[in-house]
């Protein structure tokens, strides 16, 4: 059956297109491995990106390394796209010495690493939006063409900092990409109990700001929308509220039981819209990927993950007394 | 040498810092054209422009949250909270974010911001323009808490706070803004964070205090001296980190101690000072540690009878000191 060949978005080379797929797949495989490690009692906690890989890798890929990203706890795909290694993420997962996010201080999923221009986040939802606004203010004040991008869930947009951040960003026309990863639930609470509207991006109009909703499981659509928003920011035309409609196909975290608030049919239906399988199909149609390469890359990634698990398990925990460091700057540091 | 009141010395400190370093900026409600409701930023807009003197939207969480973001990109923001009473919407940003940024990122990131807030009562400010809520932030490692009591210290401490690599809460007692004047040098000088000061030497008891209460304690000490009691008065100047040595060496000498503060008595700063003395100098004491503090009611009433009833005063301090010395 003849089909029109999918078109690559501007600014993405063939390697770039393939890299997006690889980042999505690494995120998925790593996440799955974390769950099994949790379930066999080797680690206390997982919070998952599964189902949201296209959203995460898609928006992150639209940024430059010198831009600043402010991810939220679900953004494993962003951490990987920015360049955090599987080995580093495994150290973080086990809370071990050498975890570049927090040296084992924070729960898994709390990404942050200056080397990657990725700002450290807390567990508290929505507060990070204001940090991105401040970062963008500094960029604009210095006349730079950089942007700040910040991600958050749709449930969290009920909080006041959401409004305060959009308001600031619009008053000063700041180069911010606000990314709402809308997976339809805030733990157990469905979207219609979080807000009365269909699209979070509709709120952008109240701030005289661009608001865009795209299919968050279509990675190229996400990339294109994010790139357009980022370029708008670079041109000095202000912020964008980008909403990515997606779904998390696993429970909220390893401590959640999603059977009490959503049907298996619903979950299965979304699994059928898997963003990774979908993009693999696209790449295959473009002639950039095939079954053989897929198998080889999976095998390679699995062994990278296993090596990371072995190394992280063997790695020491931080010294108890290391907990006393960096409450404040240390002597001679500024 | 110029003579300045506290509000002038605070403005002068900000001016000095902004002139020296273009990374320093101020943001807050009415800090621009109006120059701040207490005039702490008067004239700065004309001098440094809108980008660095920002009339923020009326939303405290954003004032601090945006300041944190600016600091992450290398700026040194001074955030003004119009009244300490209204800092509560920003507490999440201060405690969850600013205080923990360095710690949670294992030193990758930090949030060197200064948060200035006018606090304290005795100004007919009623429940919501009189509070002394500094205790909230003393319970949060990662923050520093500075409270000057004189124009000279205010400028020197504020310049230290702006240069500090970590978030500093800078509480300014409203009644001190124009109460006293003293010689305050032009240009840069600093008073180090973390050093208390013995502002009156004495041998019979130690009165530990900060902010407006230092001046009340000094008045009480003069009255006590007339009655033959020599009180040593300590101005803490910095609540976090607390200068334990200055407090303890004074108490070891006088053998009696009293803490005077305007915050609610229970779990207030005085509780920590009393615990410190109990832990480190109990056997040097001739009497239990005393506290003269704000009442344990939700806030200070507006009418002056109840306002005075709420607040420590020189008389109340002197009376409590007499009792302590007699015990
Ligand atoms: C201020 C705050 N309140 C409550 C929580 C607990 N909590 C963590 S995630 C979450 C749901 C967030 O839902 P959403 O914003 O839609 O993001 P999602 O997890 O679905 O990606 C809640 C209630 C929190 N972390 N922070
Ligand atoms: Mg959600």
ipTM value of the model?
Answer: 0.97
Using the beta-carbon criterion (under 8 Å), do A112 and B72 form an inter-chain contact?
Answer: no
Q: How far is CA B92 from CA A52, B119, B224, B247, in A?
A: 28, 19, 44, 32
Q: What's the pLDDT score for residue A210?
A: 98
Unique residue bearing structure tokens 């078109």: A7
> For residues A5 and B118, which has the higher predicted lDDT (pLDDT)?
B118
Q: What's the pLDDT score for residue A9?
A: 85
Nearest CB to B65; choose among A68, A134, A139 = A134
Q: What 8-state DSSP symbol labels residue A20?
A: H
Nearest CB to A131; choose among B68, B75, B144 = B68
CATH of domain B197-326: 3.40.50.920
pLDDT in tens, B16-54: 999 999 999 999 999 999 999 999 999 999 999 999 999
Q: What's the pLDDT score for residue B115?
A: 99
Q: Token pair for residue B237?
A: 């100047």
First to last CA, chain B: 46
Q: Say if B3-183 and B197-326 have the same CATH topology.
A: yes
Give yes or no for a contact between A197 and A203, defined as CB atoms under 8 angstroms apart: yes
Complete domains list, chain A, with CATH = 14-249+260-316 (3.40.50.970)
Q: Which of A252, A254, A24 is nearest to A155 (CA)?
A: A252
CB of A173 within 8 Å of a chain B CB? The answer is: no
Give yes or no for a contact between B285 and B257, defined as CB atoms under 8 angstroms apart: yes
From chain A, pick out residues whose CB is under 8 angstroms from the CB of B106.
101-103, 105, 325-326
- Rounded to whole angstroms, how far apart are CA atoms A220 and A200? 21
Q: What 8-state DSSP symbol labels residue B141?
A: B
pLDDT in tens, B191-212: 999 999 999 999 999 999 999 9
Q: What's the pLDDT score for residue A64?
A: 98
Regions of chain A with pLDDT less than 70: 1-5, 334
Q: Percent of chain B at pLDDT above 70?
A: 100
pLDDT in tens, B225-256: 999 999 999 999 999 999 999 999 999 999 99
Residue of A49, A72, A123, A125 to mutate, ligand 1, most atoms within 8 A of C-beta:
A125
Which residue, by CA, sits nearest to atom 18 of ligand 1?
Answer: A153
- Rounded to whole angstroms, how far apart are CA atoms B86 and B129? 9
What are the extents of the domains in chain B? Answer: 3-183, 197-326
Residue of A152, A154, A156, A245 to mutate, ligand 1, most atoms within 8 A of C-beta:
A156
The answer, yes or no, to whether any atom of ligand 1 lies below 6 A from the CB of A189, is: no
Q: What is the mean pLDDT of residues B135-158?
A: 98
Whether B129 is a known active-site residue: answer yes
Mean pLDDT (chain B) is 98
Q: What's the pLDDT score for residue A1?
A: 46
Q: How far is CA B292 from CA A47, B227, B269, B319, B323, in A?
A: 50, 20, 11, 10, 12
Q: What is the mean pLDDT of residues B146-153?
A: 98
Ligand 1 atom closest to Cα of A181?
Answer: 21
pLDDT in tens, A97-122: 999 999 999 999 999 999 999 999 99
Q: Which of A77, A53, A66 is nearest to A117 (CA)?
A: A66
Q: What's the pLDDT score for residue A68?
A: 98
Q: What's the pLDDT score for residue B129?
A: 97
Q: Which of A305, A283, A295, A297 is nearest to A16 (CA)?
A: A283
CATH of domain B3-183: 3.40.50.970
Provide the shortest C-alpha distance from residue B90 to chain A (in Å).
10
The answer, yes or no, to whether any atom of ligand 1 lies below 6 A from the CB of A155, is: yes
């Amino acid at each position: 059956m003849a089909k029109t060949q999918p078109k690559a978005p501007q600014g993405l080379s063939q390697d770039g297109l393939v890299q997006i797929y690889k980042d999505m797949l690494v995120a998925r495989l790593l996440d799955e491995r974390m769950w099994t490690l949790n379930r066999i009692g080797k680690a206390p906690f997982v919070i998952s990106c599964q189902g949201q890989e296209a959203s995460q890798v898609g928006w992150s890929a639209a940024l430059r390394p010198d831009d600043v990203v402010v991810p939220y706890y679900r953004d494993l795909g962003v951490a990987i796209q920015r360049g955090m290694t599987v080995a580093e993420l495994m150290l973080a997962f086990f809370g071990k010495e050498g975890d570049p996010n927090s040296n084992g201080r924070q729960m898994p999923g709390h990404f942050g690493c200056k080397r990657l221009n990725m700002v450290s986040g807390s567990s508290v939802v929505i507060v990070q939006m204001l940090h991105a606004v401040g970062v963008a203010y500094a960029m604009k004040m210095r006349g730079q063409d950089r942007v700040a991008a910040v991600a958050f869930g749709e449930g969290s947009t009920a909080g006041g900092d959401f409004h305060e951040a959009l308001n600031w960003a619009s008053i000063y026309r700041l180069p911010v990409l606000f990314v709402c990863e809308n997976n339809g639930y805030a733990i157990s609470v469905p979207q219609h109990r979080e807000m009365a509207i269909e699209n979070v991006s509709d709120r952008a109009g109240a701030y005289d700001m661009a608001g865009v909703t795209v299919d968050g499981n279509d990675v190229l659509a996400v990339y294109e929308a994010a790139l357009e928003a980022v370029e708008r920011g670079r041109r000095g035309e202000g912020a964008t509220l980008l909403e990515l409609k997606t779904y998390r196909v696993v429970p909220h975290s390893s401590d959640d039981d999603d059977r009490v608030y959503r049907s298996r049919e619903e979950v299965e239906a979304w699994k059928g819209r898997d963003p990774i399988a979908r993009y693999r199909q696209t790449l295959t149609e473009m002639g950039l990927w095939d079954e053989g390469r897929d198998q080889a890359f999976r095998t390679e990634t699995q062994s990278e993950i296993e090596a990371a698990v072995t190394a992280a398990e063997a790695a020491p925990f931080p010294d108890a007394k290391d907990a006393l460091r960096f409450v404040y700057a240390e002597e001679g540091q500024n | 040498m110029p003579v300045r009141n506290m509000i002038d010395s605070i403005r002068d400190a900000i001016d000095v810092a902004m002139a020296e370093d273009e990374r320093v900026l101020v943001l807050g409600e009415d800090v621009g054209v109006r120059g701040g409701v207490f005039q702490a930023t008067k004239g700065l807009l004309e001098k440094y422009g809108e980008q660095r003197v920002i009339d923020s939207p009326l939303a405290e969480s954003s004032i601090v949250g945006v300041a944190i973001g600016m600091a992450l990109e290398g700026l040194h923001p001074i955030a003004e909270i119009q009244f300490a009473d209204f800092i509560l919407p920003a507490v999440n940003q201060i405690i969850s974010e600013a205080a923990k940024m360095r710690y949670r990122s294992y030193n990758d990131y930090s949030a060197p911001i200064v948060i200035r807030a006018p606090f304290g009562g005795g100004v007919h400010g009623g429940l919501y323009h009189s509070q002394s809520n500094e205790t909230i932030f003393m319970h949060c490692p990662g923050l520093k808490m500075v409270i000057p009591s004189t124009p000279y210290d205010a400028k020197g401490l504020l310049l230290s706070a702006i240069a500090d690599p970590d978030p500093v809460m800078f509480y300014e007692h409203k009644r001190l803004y124009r109460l006293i004047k003293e010689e305050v040098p032009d240009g840069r000088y600093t008073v180090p964070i973390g050093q208390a000061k013995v502002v009156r030497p004495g041998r019979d008891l130690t009165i530990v205090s900060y902010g407006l209460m230092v001046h009340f304690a000094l008045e009480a000490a003069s009255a006590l001296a007339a009655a033959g009691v020599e009180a040593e008065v300590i101005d803490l100047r910095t609540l976090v980190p607390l200068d334990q040595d200055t407090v303890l060496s004074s108490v070891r000498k006088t053998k009696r101690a009293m803490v005077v503060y305007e915050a609610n008595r229970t779990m207030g700063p005085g509780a920590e000072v009393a615990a410190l003395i109990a832990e480190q100098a109990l056997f040097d004491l001739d009497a239990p540690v005393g506290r003269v503090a704000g009442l344990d009611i939700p806030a200070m009433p507006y009418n002056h009878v109840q306002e005075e009833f709420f607040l420590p005063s020189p008389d109340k301090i002197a009376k409590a000191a007499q009792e302590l010395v007699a015990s």
